[in-house]
Structure 1
């Protein structure tokens, strides 16, 4: 079955990704807020989100991001080239000390 010329296949219909970034502990202090919403281009990755955070927050946040772990929708990120789906939550977890 042929598609009308105005229809595009799903794989070409790419939209921006809106990602809610939540900051915890020293990341919250460095960012100066609990959370931030990023709008990223189609195909953006965790690494792209981290870069956008660095660009938007000169100062201590970059140092915190260097040591941080990330959760994407509650799952530990092991590969920062992982694409970000629209509506995702990215948690920034700095190293925690305890005792």
Structure 2
């Protein structure tokens, strides 16, 4: 699965994207647990920890909004982590 991070999530994760080799059917919630278990460097000053950002984020699966954290995913899915942001 390819996970792409945007805005503050990118800063907190320390990468723009990363791949996780997980079995088909793993849920979005299980993927998030794996993401948070990765040993990461401290985020830049003023950036909240990744766990706090993910707790408030929205997610896309293959460019479609996902609200059900129990949704089963496929190994080839692309998951976008979109933290709250303002602007217009």
TM interval, shorter chain, is 0.7 to 0.9
Query: Which protein, 1 or 2, shows the higher relative CO under an 8 Å CA cutoff with sep ≥ 6?
Result: 2
- Aligned pairs for 1:1-99 (under 5 A) are 19-57=1-39, 60-98=49-87
SS of the residue aligned with 1:39?
coil
1: CA distance, partners of 2:24 / 2:11:
30
Q: How many residues align?
A: 81
Shift of 1:86: 1.9
Q: Where does the alignment leave 5 or more consecutive residues of structure 2 unmatched?
A: 43-48
Shift of 1:57: 4.5
Shift of 1:98: 2.1
Q: Following TM superposition, where does structure 1 have runs of at least 4 consecutive aligned residues deviating by more than 6 angstroms?
A: none
Q: Where does the alignment leave 5 or more consecutive residues of structure 1 unmatched?
A: 1-18
Q: CA RMSD in A?
A: 1.5
Greater displacement, 41-50 / 87-96:
41-50
Using the size of structure 1 for normalisation, the TM-score is 0.76
